[in-house]
């Protein structure tokens, strides 16, 4: 009901756009490599199969991501598996089947492998990403190890060793930064939770007295700067002590929770309802002139008295209402609302009294 709560924007749309861009660039590079190797007459049947498979797979991934036929996580995992598979296949062909993979230049291919590790750390939490990255690196080491053992001076041997060393350093760095970001996020969540708990009433889940005081103070500051009227309503349950004494505090608490739900039906999304203490509640009603404030307070009392809250428990309230004036502070505003509330009690309860600007001396 309060305008103070906002939902953070989702990053799904941005991540989907980045994924589509990565797939499109990969597809473009595959097509360019195909044309270059075809022009040079370097395409073997195996390489034709690799390039054809890559083109079809990338087109399928792009279409699935664009049409959202699968969850984002599944598509991302598919991209990683595809990229690792293509790189490992090309590495194996160049190292062990020169008659088929002689046209493959491993150095440009190796530039893509670090991207696989970065992509892995985007997919999951830092621990799972570490396992995935180590698994991918193990695959590449396993593919190249016989080649390195057989001839350490072979072409690409030195570059392959450097690749594995850089990969290990990159994975360690990515894990460090990812785990640091995770700890930072947990700390921020803890701070946010503590802030929420310190400003929220445990029973009704409404803003508590501390929070409402801050909301009222901010509204007064805005009123002094730019104008725009607002009203403050203060109300409590008539004879609430008798409910606790007769039925017990469990029923009393249930009455407070049910009352919160019923009261929220009267007000708008721009208004802020809070628990002031005990059975006393306060409502800040924005954009409200004296006459509308008086009418809304009376409507609130009638709405609550119209039918039982639950299990036959019918309650009424007494309500005091006032509107902000120039020069008001929190104390002066609350004093007038409190005076109006006690006037409603003296008038017989189950009603609203006002202390409005037009009635000031």
Residue 347 has a pLDDT of 94
Query: Is 279 part of any domain?
Result: yes
> How far from 211 is each of 4, 155, 181, 278, 280, CA to CA, in Å?
11, 69, 30, 15, 15
- Average pLDDT value over all residues in the chain: 87
pLDDT band at 227 (very low <50, low <70, confident <90, very high): low
> Percent of the chain, pLDDT > 70?
94
Does the pTM surpass 0.75? The reply is: no
Q: Is there a contact between 319 and 301 (Cβ–Cβ < 8 Å)? A: yes
Domain check: are 41 and 128 in the same one? yes
Q: Rounded to an integer, what distance in angstroms lies between the CA atom of residue 69 and that of residue 58?
A: 15
Domain boundary among 135, 168, 195: 195
Mean pLDDT value across residues 89-100? 88
Query: Is 200 part of any domain?
Result: no
Q: Is there a contact between 95 and 143 (Cβ–Cβ < 8 Å)? A: yes
Mean pLDDT value across residues 178-194? 86
Domain check: are 163 and 230 in the same one? no
Residue 19 has a pLDDT of 84
Query: Is 104 part of any domain?
Result: yes
Domain count, the chain: 2
CA neighbor of 90 nearest in space, from 153, 19, 41, 156: 156
- Residues in the chain, overall count: 361
pLDDT band at 228 (very low <50, low <70, confident <90, very high): low
Domain with 230 in it = 209-359
122-163, pLDDT tens digit by residue? 888 889 999 999 999 999 999 999 999 988 888 889 999 999
Domain check: are 185 and 313 in the same one? no
Residue 1 has a pLDDT of 55
> Does the structure show a pLDDT above 60 at 358?
no
Q: Which residue has the higher pLDDT, 361 or 136?
A: 136
Q: Which residue has the higher pLDDT, 331 or 40?
A: 331
Residue 224 has a pLDDT of 66
Domain check: are 81 and 120 in the same one? yes
- The backbone torsions φ and ψ at residue 107, rounded to the nearest 5 degrees and listed phi first, read -60, -50
> Does the structure show a pLDDT above 70 at 361?
no
Query: Is 60 part of any domain?
Result: yes
Which two three-digit tokens encode residue 292? 């509308």
Residue 5 has a pLDDT of 40
């Amino acid at each position: 009901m309060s305008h103070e709560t906002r939902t953070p924007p989702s990053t799904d749309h941005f991540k989907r756009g980045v994924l589509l861009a990565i797939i499109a660039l990969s597809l473009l590079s595959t097509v360019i490599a195909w044309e270059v190797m075809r022009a040079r007459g370097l395409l073997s049947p195996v390489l034709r199969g690799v390039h054809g498979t890559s083109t079809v797979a990338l087109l399928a991934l792009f279409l699935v991501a664009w049409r959202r036929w699968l969850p984002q996580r599944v598509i991302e995992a598919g991209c990683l598996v595809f990229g690792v598979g293509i790189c490992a296949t090309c590495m194996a062909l160049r190292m062990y089947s020169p008659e088929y993979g002689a046209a493959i230049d491993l150095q440009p291919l190796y530039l893509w492998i670090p991207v696989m590790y970065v992509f892995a750390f985007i997919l999951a939490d830092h621990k799972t990403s570490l396992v995935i990255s180590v698994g991918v690196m193990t695959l590449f080491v396993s593919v190249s190890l016989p080649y390195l053992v057989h001839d350490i001076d072979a072409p690409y041997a030195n570059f392959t060793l450097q690749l594995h060393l850089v990969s290990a350093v990159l994975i360690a760095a990515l894990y460090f930064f990812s785990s640091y970001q995770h700890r930072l996020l947990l700390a921020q969540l803890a701070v946010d939770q503590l802030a929420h708990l310190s400003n929220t009433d445990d029973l009704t889940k409404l803003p508590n007295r501390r929070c409402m005081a801050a909301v009222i103070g901010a509204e007064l500051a805005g009123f002094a700067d730019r104008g725009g009227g607002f009203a403050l309503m203060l109300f409590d349950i008539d004879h609430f002590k008798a409910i606790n004494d007769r039925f017990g505090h469990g029923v009393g608490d249930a009455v407070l929770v049910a009352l919160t739900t019923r009261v929220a039906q009267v007000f708008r999304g721009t208004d802020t309802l809070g628990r002031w203490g005990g059975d006393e509640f306060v409502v800040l009603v924005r954009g409200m002139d004296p006459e509308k404030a008086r009418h809304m307070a009376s409507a609130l009392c009638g709405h609550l008295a119209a039918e039982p809250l639950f299990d036959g428990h019918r309650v009424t309230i007494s309500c005091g209402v006032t509107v902000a004036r120039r020069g008001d502070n929190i104390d002066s505003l609350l004093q007038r609302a409190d005076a109006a509330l006690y006037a409603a009690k003296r008038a017989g309860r189950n009603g609203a009294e006002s202390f409005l600007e037009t009635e000031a001396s």
